[in-house]
Amino acid sequence: MRLTDLAASLPASVPFTGPETLERRAGRPFAARLGANESGFGPSPRAIAAMEDAARDAWMYGDPEYHDLRHALAIHHGVPFDSIVAGEGIDGLLGYLVRLLVAPGDPVVTSAGAYPTFGYHVTGFGGVLHPVSYRGDHEDPDALLAKARETGARLIYLANPDNPMGSHHDAATVTAMIEALPEDAVLCLDEAYADLAPADALPRLDPSDPRVIRMRTFSKAHGLAGLRVGYAIGHPDLIAAFDRVRNHFGLNRMGQAAALASLADEDWMTHVRERVAESRQTIAAIARDAGLRPLPSATNFVAVDCGRDGAHARRVLEGLAQEGVFVRMPGVAPLDRCIRISCGPVSDMEILRGALPKAIAFAGT
């Protein structure tokens, strides 16, 4: 077997270690799965019914153009049909975007500690990452722009709201960043948590602007992470280019049907938003009771400052795992002073309440 020089130069790794892998190592399942920012509140009942119906037709391939889903999304967002592409979650769409815009050796700008799958795709296609530091607990639009001008990068990545810190910039700040983009640069605006974000975090959708592409998902508020359904909103020329590289059968019939049904169930979305807000408050209270500092969150998770450095936070995380609670943490200092706890149902919150003081004791002082 002979790999390409690029493939041979890459580490054999994945951006995240799955909870299933950790369960196999430990020889037991987690009691509370609060690390992957999934929705423990589950999918819409309409989506479940749609999946059950679609299962009967699983012998057929799904529509490779995702026509009905894209049409529904266009109506939902008030944008043209040809401004939307769907794909295998934001992760899959990020890979296609990088493949379209980044040639080997091209500079790409992101934030150190931001969503690692974007960087995984950039290096996988031979691009060169130029990360900038967060400013406080926020990604830094000014630093991203300055680094893009310095390097000549044509692709810039910003998540808003942010993962892993849960922070957000208001729409005016993001709009000003778009207006200040270097010529020929494209901003990939990852809005995975848009359905849970405050209204002032989201700039007006304008798919006529070729400078920005917006990524959205059904994995968070819609509770369909296991089906891998995402979509992007952008200029029709860039959206059309995805047909050059995408997997045209990447979304299966069940995923398309479930996403359609979930999109139509506004009552369930309201229910989930209310449960997430309650859970954020509960996580914050549990953290404060344990002597830790929860950070403000515009997402379905809360970053909790453990008060010291990454080594200490990692020990807290290990202590939680020993107590049967799966959480994750940022990978870059100084963000890694925190652990990141996903929202979940009351039963999971009670498990967390009992486990966190024991994890802190395990980590030591």
Least confident of 2-16, 227-241, 242-256: 2-16
Gap between the Cα atoms of 287 and 293, Å rounded:
6
H/E stretch holding 237 reads: helix 236-241
So what's the pLDDT on residue 186? 98
pTM: 0.95
Q: Exposed, middle or buried by CB within 10 Å (0-12, 13-18, 19+), for 184?
A: exposed
Mean pLDDT across the stretch 147-171?
97
310 Cβ contact list (under 8 Å, min separation 6): 329, 333, 336, 337
Residue closest to 177 by CA, chosen among 198, 149, 207: 149
Q: State yes or no: pLDDT of 12 exceeds 90.
A: no
> Which residues belong to CATH 3.40.640.10 in the chain?
45-265
Band (pLDDT 50/70/90 cuts) for residue 87 is very high
Preceding amide of 334 cis, omega within 30: yes
CA angle 294, 90, 31 (to 5 degrees): 50
CATH 3.20.20.70 is held by the domain 5-42+267-363 = no
What's the topology of domain 45-265? Aspartate Aminotransferase; domain 2 (3.40.640)
Gap between the Cα atoms of 362 and 365, Å rounded:
9
> Any idea of the CA torsion for 111, 113, 117, 118, to the nearest 10 degrees?
0
**How many CB atoms are located within 10 Å of the residue 78 CB?**
8
Preceding amide of 19 cis, omega within 30: no
Band (pLDDT 50/70/90 cuts) for residue 16 is confident
Band (pLDDT 50/70/90 cuts) for residue 234 is very high
Q: What is the mean pLDDT of the chain?
A: 96
Strand segments, DSSP code E, in 90-135 are: 107-111, 128-132
Band (pLDDT 50/70/90 cuts) for residue 365 is low
> Which residues belong to CATH 3.90.1150.10 in the chain?
5-42+267-363
Higher pLDDT, 77 or 12: 77
H/E stretch holding 285 reads: helix 266-289
Per-residue CA distances from 303 to 85, 281, 358 (Å): 31, 12, 19
Report the SS3 class of residue 246.
coil
Mean pLDDT across the stretch 289-312?
97
Largest CA distance in the chain: 58
230-233 and 212-217: which strand pairing? Answer: antiparallel
Per-residue CA distances from 176 to 21, 142, 156, 172, 203 (Å): 42, 10, 14, 6, 10
Residue closest to 326 by CA, chosen among 342, 350, 346: 342
326 phi/psi in degrees, rounded to 5:
-90, 120
Contact between residue 105 and residue 126 where contact means Cβ atoms under 8 Å apart: yes
Preceding amide of 182 cis, omega within 30: no
Gap between the Cα atoms of 65 and 96, Å rounded:
16
> pLDDT for 17-43, tens place per residue?
889 999 899 999 999 999 999 999 999
> pLDDT for 347-361, tens place per residue?
999 999 999 999 999
Gap between the Cα atoms of 119 and 112, Å rounded:
10
So what's the pLDDT on residue 1? 80
For residue 143, the one-letter residue type is A
Residue closest to 40 by CA, chosen among 299, 345, 357: 345
Pair of tokens at residue 171: 């729409």
